[in-house]
A and B are shown apart, each in its own frame.
Chain A
Amino acid sequence: MELIYSEKRSGKSYLKQSYICVLLWFMGRAVQAASRVDDRVRKEFKDLPENFTFALGVMPAGPHLVVRRTAEGTARYLGHRITPQPVDLKMEFKHLDAGFLTFTFRENTPVATARDRLVVDGEVGYACAVVRILDAVQIYLLPKFIARLAVKRYPRWPLGQKLLHRTRIYWRTILGY
């Protein structure tokens, strides 16, 4: 009985990867925009140490979204690579599919955490602040019925404030100012 051995590379899922790339880019820009427009997000960034850099992404090779807290206390989106700049806090999905589940709003952050989908490394003490920032940004960016899936408790902010902020964050996200 001869056993047949074959060897293969693990391959790539380009569709999921591209989707995550685009979404992370969009969120990165949105975080940057929200840090200038929204009081809550601005305050979260103010409380972070200067030059604090965090990344959200997928193992083993990305993509990521990398954001730094600037000297002025706002956020700057640094792109989708974790090198060369050092990252203080890294939140990474263990595999592409776990990221895809979350970024398609089928598993929110608490559920993904409960299911051990994420590895948090570095200055874990700031993980809560980062999660709050990402939650707040999602609430602005996404229509309510999707955002409800993404966060534990959908906030009772006045509607006007949300709509106004939402448009401003959208514009800034796309234009990048």
Chain B
Amino acid sequence: MPLPTCFEFECPVKTHCGDRALENIAFEMRAMNAVKPLIIGDEPAAQEKRLVPVLNAFKNAEMTLGVVEAIPVEDPASVAAQLAAIYRDKDCDAIVAVGQGPFIDMAKWLNLMVSTGEENPDAFIEGKGIPRSLRPLAVIPSATADGLELSGYVRLQGKTLRSVNLMPPLLFLDPRSVGQPGDVALAETGLTALTLALEAMFTADANPMDVVYARTAAKLAAMGLNGLAGDSEIGGPLSLTVAHAAALAGCTLGAGPQPLAFKLGWAVAETGKISAAQAMGVMLSYVLEHRLAANEMPADMLLELLDSAGRYARTPEGQRGAAGLQLLRDLLNRLFETTDGKIRRTLSDSGLSLQDVTEATEGISAQGKGNASGGQETIITCAWEGRPIR
């Protein structure tokens, strides 16, 4: 890929990943001058007792911890307001959030509130006025993730705030705190991560620093998905791999515009027939195929990302792009098999008609990031049928 002649990169997230990651929370808090974190967890975290290892990890840290467990996400604005009152009342000075998806949006909003004193999200529309240094926020995600946890996005009651400054400064991935979701949930997290990562890699203006996160997230997602699809060579704890992929994919997105397949996935999910993750997983290869053809960019690197440098090198040059896309589609087909059809190969697998999909995705703009105009219909038709564009 050619180097863009002008770009900007920023990722304020510090990653801690692996064995005893949680034990470092206290150290990082002290380094940021915080002594009394407010530890908050969502309902799934409470059910799976994922807060227990987090609290235990503070042993010998000589700190006082504020704890609020099993927090619902139905009414995030009022929950955040209540938590902000608690935070101030109890003199907390940092936030540790254990959970996933919308709960993390709520935690980021809570942090913005306690850091600035502002209670109205409208004050920050378009990322305006969000200060560079907020209070320390540590995110402890699970392997069930929607990919936006580590991004600079905050979705709150139909509004979206985004800013690099909203990216959580601390990420802790620990085998004890990522949970053990079932294969379908894991595959969905993996597909979301793969979508965000590959979309970031295969854009005309990808810069080598964004590509660092994208590349790593893509390889981790591929590793996790290949493991779920029964690839015997892949060992290790799959939950951690998949959670890792999703977290880094969120870093890749940052506060940038959401990529096409991601947006299409969420739009199709509105029909209620298929999850956003699965829909974007299905559409990913078609979005890439269409974009790469339109921009005359090679899809060759897919082979290296999804398999290995060796596979890339030994495949003849002219065959690499097609082989890469085929590998991506095969991955979905294998997941379809190992999950007894619960992971869809095509949009029609979900029982949606082509018209349903077309209606659901109307108004999604494919602008920016090198998407060709007018290709949406082709992408959707091919993704519905499961037929390569060429």
Contacts and interface: CB of A to CB of B under 8 A. Distances in A.
Whether the complex brings A and B within 8 Å at their CB atoms is answered yes
Interface of A: 1, 3-13, 16-17, 58-61, 94-98, 101, 115
Contacts of A16: 60
A54 to B, nearest CB: 21
Interface in B44-66: 55-66
Given A3-B71, A95-B23, A95-B24, A13 B59 contact: yes
Interface string B18-33: 1010011011001000
A4 B69 contact: yes
Interface in B66-116: 66-69, 71-72, 75, 78-79, 82-83, 86, 90
Contact of A10 (B62, B68, B72): B62
B60 to A, nearest CB: 4
A4 B62 CA distance: 23
A10 B58 contact: yes
A41 B101 CA distance: 55
Pairs A-B, 9 closest by C-beta atoms:
A10-B58, A94-B27, A96-B60, A95-B23, A13-B59, A10-B61, A97-B23, A10-B63, A6-B67
Contacts of A101: 20
A7 to B, nearest CB: 6
Given A1-B72, A60-B61, A7 B90 contact: yes
* Most chain B beta carbons < 10 A, residue from A16, A58, A96: A96
B67 A1 contact: no
Contacts of A115: 18
A11 B24 CA distance: 15
Given A5-B68, A7-B65, A97 B90 contact: no
Contact of B62 (A3, A5, A6, A61): A61
A96 B59 contact: yes
Contacts of A4: 68-69
A10 B20 contact: no
A1 B60 contact: no
* Most chain B beta carbons < 10 A, residue from A5, A16, A61, A97: A5
A66 to B, nearest CB: 19
